Structure 1
């Protein structure tokens, strides 16, 4: 087959049947892929291994890229042999091939199949890749395929794509002869790990630690709250620390599984949180008595580290939500939780000062009466 052009509009989420091809050309099969607003057309000759494809997708931005790939060795991204299209600095659409080995910077390279013809175009918000491939193995009935979209290109090199659930699910098993596309669960494991990482750290650093700090700061001001406030505070922080360690461990696991992907700020704050929280736990064992001359220095350290954990923990939860992009509802829900914690803190802060002035007034009155 020769080059084809695909007519699409910004509403290209329409079924395959609505797409038209110039010159009356028709592919044998078409499939509207389940995520990333994309479609794949293909014709396949098992006798000589010729596979003609047209891949249509909308990049996140005009300066972005789209890609379709075959993975002959597995179901995931590693090992994928990709066709990738983007607009070069001269304004022309280019198609390049990449052997994907990880999330690091991509370098154009030869791939598993031969590319006999390739071209690309960009109009109506959609990029289209057209190619005629020669598969090295004749008679293949099915292949693992992946597709992806990315936001930008720098100096002719595509930058890393997003990590939303749709990005992570953009893979499947393509039956070349029947036209069926079977989703695979290869991306579900990593997505599940990311979700677990996010949930654990939100509960730990984003909720339990702030609540524990509120307990220590405010409940101790109420008559009769001692020593209950202390045990509540310690319990809250120890539980939060245990959950946080589990969340931190899943983050390290994800980092090892995603070579080349480094969210430097998020990672650095996570390490700082883990370090400070660990020091706080050990500091409990070294806490001087109330009347010890070094107790004031311990208090300065303990309070300073605690408030640092409070600020960094909440910030890093929002940073993680921005990376994972689980949906605006999750961000709004956590914003509501933080707002409630903040509102309670304001009320308790005002109450604490009222109690303080009432106590001072009572003490002054007693002193004057004496």
Structure 2
């Protein structure tokens, strides 16, 4: 249901962005490039109608094959690239966005996930601005009537509730990250960087070529790498889908240059070293975080695997990822459990 809602939002955004927009003021490039931190999201002019989030010219909606889990929030993703500029294709890592670009991501919850027409309460919109000095991350919180989103550099806790796909009422204290917490996921070599827009995660068979046609991307090789859709059993093997999920949800920290590099656990999809991926790898540190278990992944034995142990707890001192979730991702836990259970044990 989350994927269906996201696909609908993305389609509507593409239709809106491609339509003629006479008389509408363009995106405020001077605000993106400026030295100030705008108080109101509307100052950028990314959208024409506040919480309706109809994108302005040169603002396009997009989806990812395998998205980051954020407590079941639905998301709308947009990218802006200045007129006359293009994104540079890179096969590995994130695409290279030119100065003046912006990435915009809104988070919210429909009142009832069982109803595709259920209204969505948008809670926050996070913005990444590509300035001359590098990327700047800013969180904005929507007011009650959806007329404006206001900068919240200190973050905030907000109540959120909804009826899930099983008909159960869910309620959490939703955390809007503060500006420093944004760096917890988006920092590499002490600089803010992107996470989601990698060629392999954008490549759904046509999206990269569309971006080229629209003048957003410089090229799209026909053999561009592609990340499977983690929850689509027809798209890749069990191991490929499990590794896709771990790549998106864990590898922004668990990579050789990331904040968790000292763990020795590297979960990027393209990682070839099986021990580095956690298979029969002993933890760097013992204690609560390891559950006193011996291996990050114990082939054939999910209940003796630290990776799954940390995914299926909500204890803030143990849970992984450390930021961005208060709930267990039930469907992903089931996937990783099956992945480990069916993993062949090494020959003795």
After TM superposition, the score normalised by the length of structure 1 is 0.23
* Higher share of residues assigned helix: 1
* Higher share of residues assigned strand: 1
Higher CA-based Rg: 1
After TM superposition, the score normalised by the length of structure 2 is 0.24
